[in-house]
Amino acid sequence: MKQRVIFGTLLLAAGSLLAASPKDEVAAAASTLGSQPNYSWENDTVSISGGGRFTVTNQGKTEKGGCTWVDLIRGNVANEAFLAGNKCIVQSFDMGWVSLDDLAKEPAEINGAPNPNQYLVRNLTNYKLPDNVAADLASKAAALKEQGDGLGGSLVEGNLTEDGAKAMLLTGRSGSTDGLVVSAAKGSLKFWLSNGLLMKFEFHVTGTISFNGSSRDIDRTTTVVIRDVSSTRVNIPSDIKAKL
């Protein structure tokens, strides 16, 4: 009887391992990252459109249950922000340190030109930490496969569903998406895992967005690298801390 119990336990353990699909592994690795006391990251997004190439680099630090610091770098301008709970204090382009709620009240245009502060509003409203972004991407995958080693761990790759690719193409757009038509949407995914922890991920989306007879081709690659897990500290200036 004892041997049967041991054998049955081994079968259950083996079955649970076999049931862990690459998608499940990525979701678990993203969840494990989110459960860490703190971590840092760097996010690079390269967009190719209309013959031009545009790069946006974001950096961030977060402490679980505490504060998150992000630095949104656009061109030669860096805008810091501190987020805690449902509050966000951001360094605007022309108004100093203000709450995101106040910044969202600013007009979309100034003297006929787009208000640069609305770039901050778009990127910081409903801001998602990298572990949540990775989990969302995995949920939008058509299929994921483990492709071998990478960064001292495993590399998992796959493609987005068409709906998933459409959603990622529209992410970060200003204003309503009503009337926008997305066609030929495609996307690929890569996740680097090490000891059950998400260490890096990348997604590449392409497609065409059309509105009122005009079309724009999109080719965008975002790469997020995780660093300093469990050794990150978020330093909050006293004047900012008083506003959070």
Rounded-to-integer distance, Cα 115 and Cα 110, Å: 6
pTM of the model: 0.86
Q: What pLDDT is recorded for position 177?
A: 62
In this predicted structure, the answer to whether residue 26 has a pLDDT above a threshold of 90 is: yes
Identify the structural domains of the chain with CATH numbers, from first to last: 22-241 (2.50.20)
CA 79 to chain centre: 18
Of 189 and 54, the structure prediction assigns the larger pLDDT to 189
- CA 95 to each of CA 88, 154, 177: distance values in angstroms, whole numbers, following the listed order: 15, 45, 28
Query: Could you read off the pLDDT of 95-151 as tens digits, one per residue?
Result: 889 999 999 998 888 888 888 888 899 889 999 999 999 999 999 999 899 987 766
**DSSP letter string over 51-85?**
TEEEEEEEEEEEETTS-EEEEEEETTEEEEEEEET
> Taking all residues of the chain, what is their mean pLDDT, rounded to a whole number?
87
The whole-angstrom separation of Cα 218 and Cα 137 is 18
DSSP label at residue 166 = H
Percent of the chain past pLDDT 70, that is, above it, reads 87
- CA distance linking residue 169 with residue 182, whole number of Å: 8
Provide mean pLDDT across the span 179-207. Answer: 94
Contact 180, 209 (CB under 8 A): yes
pLDDT at 41: 98
Q: Which amino acid is at 29?
A: A
